[in-house]
Amino acid sequence: MTPATISAAAAAAAGTWTLGDLTVRRVGFGAMRLTGTAPFDGGVPRDRAQSIAVLRRAVELGVNHIDTAAFYFSATRSANELINSALAPYPEDLVIATKVWPGRDPSGAWSWASPAQLRGQVEENLRQLGRDHLDVVNLRVPPSERAGSISEHFGALAELRDAGLIRHLGVSNVTSAQLAQALEIAPVVCVQNPYGLGTSGEQQELLRRCGELDIAFVPFFAIAGPAREPGPTAEDSDPVRSVARAHGVAVAQIRLAWTLHQGPHVLAIPGTGDPYHLTQNVAAGALRLSDEDLALLGS
């Protein structure tokens, strides 16, 4: 399946998973890149009309899982505002996941919320998205806290869920120990961590553990790899390029297909502000890698 022939059934080709009581297709969409070429570093803002068109096209192609955050903004663009403008009134099956704990002031400076401040961040997402509740909220753990406890912050989110502001809870950038801490407080429907070809054994083990618990594992940087926010790495290995040539697809599509192959509970949320890249990403859900392909890729 190529971008030129992709249909509205494309996102369904990879199957579905449930986040609590919400069914999502395994190929979703990450909203960060809608706001600019380098959203957190003063990059060139995306064309607003194009960003809105990309969101609408994603839904047309069957995507019903969008990942966003209130701190996804550039000088002139807000991901949440774009989602609201493009898609409200929202389709009944559309699941919007957001994340809290990090925050940014209007100048772009970062801060980290206290447990008491999480309600304000949740309400900010509600206002921007124009919703009375959030489908999924991920607690995004600061890099400096990955050896610490998340119980107090996750407990505060659980209280907001009990108050009806949040439907389901997830965690992001966590260790296995922190996932266990969260599960002692409330159900967790997803773990959103960095993962892709070449990922460390620690993340492999966490992915496996999520499968045992029927928790969705939602990788970020599945395409970008070591390059992270700036975009896909220019240093893809020869095996990745070889498999891509054999299938007649882009390297990014092989990276996504490999990620989805890691388990039925693994979701993908590739982000882009480019309509062509969007169709490539969605089409990757229909790619089937052979045993030979997987062996060459090291899996």
pLDDT digits (tens, 9 = 90+) for 206-261: 999 999 999 999 999 888 654 444 444 445 678 999 999 999 999 999 999 999 99
Residue 298 pLDDT: 83
Residue 64 pLDDT: 98
CATH number given to 21-297: 3.20.20.100
DSSP string, 148-200: S--HHHHHHHHHHHHTTSEEEEEEES--HHHHHHHHTTS---EEE-B--TT--
- Look up the pTM and report it: 0.93
- Please, which residues have CB within 8 angstroms of residue 89's CB and are 6 or more apart in sequence? none
The DSSP call for residue 20 is T
* 112 three-class SS: strand
Residue 5 pLDDT: 59
**Active site (catalytic) residues:** 72
By DSSP bridging, strand 134-140 and strand 65-67 are unpaired
* 229 three-class SS: coil
